Structures are given as structure tokens and as C-alpha cells.
Structure 1
Amino acid sequence: MVGIWGMGGLGKTTAAKAIYNQIHPQFEFKSFLADVRDATSKHDLVDVQKKLISDILKKKPEISYVDEGIGLIKQQFRHRKILVIVDNIDKEEQLDAIVGSHDWFGLGSRIIITTRDERLLLNVNKKFQAKKMNEEEALELFSWHAFKNSCPDQGYLEVSEKVVSYCGGLPLSLEVLGSLLIKRSLAEWESQLEELGRYPDENIVNRLRISFDGLCRSEKAIFLDISCFFIGEDKDYVAKRLDKCGFSATIGISVLCERCLITVEQNKLNKHDLLREMARVIISEKSLGHPGKWSRLWNRQEAAEVLRNKSVSTFPIKFCIMHPA
């Protein structure tokens, strides 16, 4: 069993597809279970089990509940060499129902799991963290989507580099913005960059937001506080500050790290710029242009304006007095 984990939009599914396409001829029995998180939210785990069993046995199974499916998988697969891709899981129960143990499958089987949550990979043999692209790789990927070529068109290099810098090596954002800007004028590109400076692309935010939506209430609050006030701060200092606000911040920060929503580098808190922007969208989206209604104010000028005009209508509201953006 091999796990691939990382934040949304890094290309984990793309990597799994590439691996599957390369090695599937070595296996008589194989199955690619695409976006298990989405499939189980729309249907249930029994449907995913049916897809797996049908792919392997080439016939539709008669199962009515998860335990029945587990029993059939263990009975039919334990002597077969099988390749299974379990794409985008977000709950332990999904793994337990589909690929619960090594001894469910025959010798030489390969199970590849992709997820945004590192903790779901405790029982795999190896795990690999998906990494963001370097600037050269990012520019090439962006160019394929924006220009249908490996490099920018003449006159577009400088503005392309600005877009690539904004994307921060995230393949999802490079693809989305490349497709958005294709066959547009330089003036339109500059206008789009100006718009992104005020508000990130909705398609990118919605994809990244899936990880945030899976958090519990206190973890969401910790994530938003860190995004607004504590980027670059010492992890232990921040945990103590947040503990005083009634959060169990030590475990909360660990969960956010496991789900690739923050990183800790030399004990300093950090995160991808687009995740920070996503957090600020979440805070402001219901009252755009009315910062007095937001739960957090990270911009000193806006905070001062709200206090000056006494326009606060959300309590409690948090201000960036000590931690400016």
C-alpha cells in the first residue's frame, strides 16, 4: 500500500492516473476508484464497493450493506494480484470498507491511495507528499494551458511570470488561470491580475475549500486565526495564545498540518498564499465591502476605519493589533 498526500490542487490524482496507466498492463485485475470522497457524499460506500468488485470480477455483485461488501472483497480478492487506485479519500471508514487490510489482497497486489489528510495513511507501507512545482515547471504547465505551447508567446513572458508567481507552484491554479487567459489581450491579462489581487478566482477557492469544510468548528477557527494574524509566528507561542481563547491549539495545529492547510518550518507557521487568501474570502464573503460585519480584521487600515466609524456589528470581532498582514 502506497499513499500520496498533499493539499488540494497539487496533482495527486494526476500522479495516480499516470502510475495506473504505466503499470496496469502488469495486472489482470485492476480498478480505478475516482474521487471516493465525492462518490460517497452523493451515494454511499456500498456503491463504491460494488464498483471495485465489478471491475475485478466483471460482474455486478449483490451486496446490500458495507460489512457484506467487506466479506465479499476479502473472500474473492485474497488470492488475486490486484491493482487498485483509491482516489481522494477523506474518512477512515472509506479505507476500512474498500482496502481495510493487506491480507485482503493477493501477493504482488498494489494499492495506491490519494488524500489530503496524512493521518489516513498510518497503515500504508510508503507515503509520498505531493510537492508544488518550481518556477520553471510552473511556467511550462501554465504555458500549455494559456498558449498551447511549452513557453509563453512573444510579449507575454513578463505578465506570465506574474501569474505564475501568484499561483505559487499550484498546478490547479496554473491550469485554471491558463485556461481563463488563453487568447486574451495583454490589457485583459493585466486587468485579470488586478482583479486577482482583490479577490482570488472562485474555481480555485472552491477546490481548496473542500479541506476547510472537513474541519470541526474549533479547527476552522484556529485555521482562520492563523491565516489572518499568525503567519510567520512561532508555533508554540501561537498555541499558547490560542489556548487562552479556549482552543485546544496544539492538537488543532497538528490536524491542520496533517491536512496540508498549514506548514511548520523551523517551528514557524506558514501556508500557501492561496490558502491564506481562501481564508480571507471565507471571512468576508457574506458581507463584501462591510468589514465591520467580519469576524476578523487583518488589515490595519480597515480595522482603524471600523473603530473610527464604530461600525462593528459582529461580536466578538478580532483585530490585527499585534500581527499585521
Structure 2
Amino acid sequence: MTFHCTESESEFIQRVIKEISSTKSNREPLFVAKHPIGIDIRVEAIELLLDMESNDVCIVGICGFGGIGKTTISKAVYNRIANRFEGSCFLENVREMSKIIGGIIQLQETLLSKILQDRDLKVYNVFEGINLIKERLRHKKVLIILDDVKDSKDVENLLGECNWFASGSRVIITTRDKHILTTLGRDPRIYEVTKLSQCEASELFNRHAFQASEYGEDYSSEYGEDYSELAKQIICYANGLPLALKIIGSDLCGKNIHEWKSALERVTTRMML
């Protein structure tokens, strides 16, 4: 009898450790950006739309064209509010995953396993996944973010009907196509992401290209006015797109003036096409 009692205690302890470990991993913050310039003000605007004090099930759409920062902003929102829910899941690259054979099934498995804390959960077809989401999540207050959605059918396969979820649940969908949000039938609140201001764009580019600090030290004395003038032109052509500013700035970091001029020529040529 003592042996069986000891064995039962051991199994219980292992189960508790597993649950604590899985909960901890699910709550780890998502990486947002090396230099999250202009993120906070946009996150605060989305939080207002989410109306966190309301017990309704609320859907918020974040829309805008590629490279404007939808994913980055939604990750920052997730980090700020995920601990207020019984379960949470950030599903990234829905558009790309939906093109892969079995991709939607993988997303359904990820959604269920993250929220239910069951890494061994398996889904064998899309319809089974929809039924599992309905049955297993219908009484839970959840936060679900579907990132980069192109087709409303993918929303149906991953969320079914949002009224399945418990009161207080929040769903965030990022998309380039605003029309997808208007077809959901629950009057989603929509946040349209704006480009970075001139000041924000300059700061983001300078952080990546010159490794300028957040305290705004002047880099022109080290790099020279030639670099400064080229930077202004590149920032202008990037047109407030965070992804473009990050990629070009990171690529130019540490390079000589001739490489900067060549880069500006390439950017100018692309803009004229």
C-alpha cells in the first residue's frame, strides 16, 4: 500500500510541475521589436477599442498594408493584456500557413494546445478541429490573435462563431483586407494603422543605421553630414513604413558612403517603377 501511495504522490507532483511549466511557457512575452518606435501610442488606441472592462465578446480588427507594423503592434497588445485571460494564443502567419497542406489543422492544434495547455493534443481534420474548438473553448475567457488573415474562411475554421467563447473574451485579427473584417457579422471595431510620423521614422532609421541611442545623441559628428543628408532622403522614400526603415537601416549599418549612395539609387529606382 505504501508503494502505491508513494507512486500516486509522485505522479501528482509530476503533473503539477508539467502544468506549471506549460503555463509559464504560454505566458512568456512575445518579442515585439528591437526598437519599438511609435508602438505604445498605437497599442493604447487599440486597448481603448478592446474595452477591457466590458464583459461582451469583442472583436477588433487591425488593418493596413504590408510592412506598416500590424504584427508588431498586435504582439505588443498581446503582451500587455494576455495575463487577464484564462487562456491566450497568438497565431502568426495565418495567410502563409493556410497555403500549406494541413496548415489550418496545424493552426487549430496550436490554438487548442496553447489555450488548453496540452502539448499532446492532435487534430486530424479541419472539421474535427472546429468541433474541438467549440466544445473545449466555449466556456473559457480567451484572448486569440489571428495575424495576417487573407480569407474569411480561415477565420471560420479557427474561431467558428466568436459567441462560442465565454464573456469577456477578446479576438484580434490583423489583415491587409478591411473587407474581411466587415464580413464577420459581429460589428468588429477596426483600427487602421497609420504610417510613422517624420519624427518616428527618423528615430527608427537612425537606431538601426547608426545605432543611435534612445537618448538621442547626435550621430552626425561621427558619421558626417553626407550620411545625414543621405539618411534624410532614404527616410523620405521609405514613406513611414517601419519594415522598410528597419531593413534598409540595418543593411546600411557600418557601410561606407559609396554603399549608402548605391542603396539610395536602388530605393529611388524601385519607387519609380
Both structures adopt the same fold (TM-score exceeding 0.5)? yes
**Are the counterparts in 1 of residues 86 and 141 from structure 2 also a CA contact under 8 Å?**
yes
**Are the counterparts in 1 of residues 64 and 70 from structure 2 also a CA contact under 8 Å?**
yes
Classify the secondary structure of the residue corresponding to 1:4: strand
The one-letter code matched in structure 1 to 2:164 is W
Q: Deviations over 1:273-303 (max 9, x none)?
A: x5xx5xx4xxxxxxxxxxxxxxxxxxxxxxx
- The corresponding residue for 1:320 is none
Written as runs of structure 1 = structure 2, the 5 A alignment for 1:160-239 is 160-198=231-269, 200=270
**2:166 is aligned with 1:106:** yes
1:55 to 103, 109, 114: 114
TM-score, normalised to structure 2, is 0.70
Classify the secondary structure of the residue corresponding to 1:9: coil
2:142 to 67, 82, 93: 82
Following superposition, the deviation at residue 118 of structure 1 comes to 0.5
1:127 to 176, 185, 190: 190
Following superposition, the deviation at residue 197 of structure 1 comes to 2.3
Q: Deviations over 1:49-70 (max 9, x none)?
A: 1110111112233332212111
The one-letter code matched in structure 2 to 1:35 is N
Classify the secondary structure of the residue corresponding to 1:3: strand
**2:207 is aligned with 1:144:** yes
- The corresponding residue for 2:94 is 36
Q: Which whole-Å CA distance do the structure 1 matches of 2:203 and 2:161 have between them? A: 40
Identify unmatched segments of 5+ residues in structure 2: 1-58
Q: Which whole-Å CA distance do the structure 2 matches of 1:23 and 1:95 have between them? A: 22
Following superposition, the deviation at residue 22 of structure 1 comes to 0.7
Q: Which whole-Å CA distance do the structure 2 matches of 1:92 and 1:45 have between them? A: 13
Q: Which whole-Å CA distance do the structure 2 matches of 1:139 and 1:103 have between them? A: 43
Following superposition, the deviation at residue 186 of structure 1 comes to 2.3
Q: Deviations over 1:4-33 (max 9, x none)?
A: 010000000000000001111112311110
TM-score, normalised to structure 1, is 0.59
Classify the secondary structure of the residue corresponding to 1:103: helix
Q: Deviations over 1:222-265 (max 9, x none)?
A: xxxxxxxxxxxxxxxxxxxxxxxxxxxxxxxxxxxxxxxxxxxx
Q: Which whole-Å CA distance do the structure 2 matches of 1:169 and 1:183 have between them? A: 23
Q: CA RMSD in A?
A: 1.6
The one-letter code matched in structure 1 to 2:255 is R
Identify unmatched segments of 5+ residues in structure 1: 201-273, 281-325
Classify the secondary structure of the residue corresponding to 1:41: coil
- The corresponding residue for 2:219 is 153
Q: Which whole-Å CA distance do the structure 1 matches of 2:89 and 2:109 have between them? A: 11
Q: Which whole-Å CA distance do the structure 2 matches of 1:67 and 1:91 have between them? A: 17
Give the ranges of 4+ consecutive aligned residues of structure 1 lying more than 4 Å apart after TM superposition.
Answer: none
**Are the counterparts in 1 of residues 149 and 174 from structure 2 also a CA contact under 8 Å?**
yes
Q: Which whole-Å CA distance do the structure 2 matches of 1:118 and 1:19 have between them? A: 20
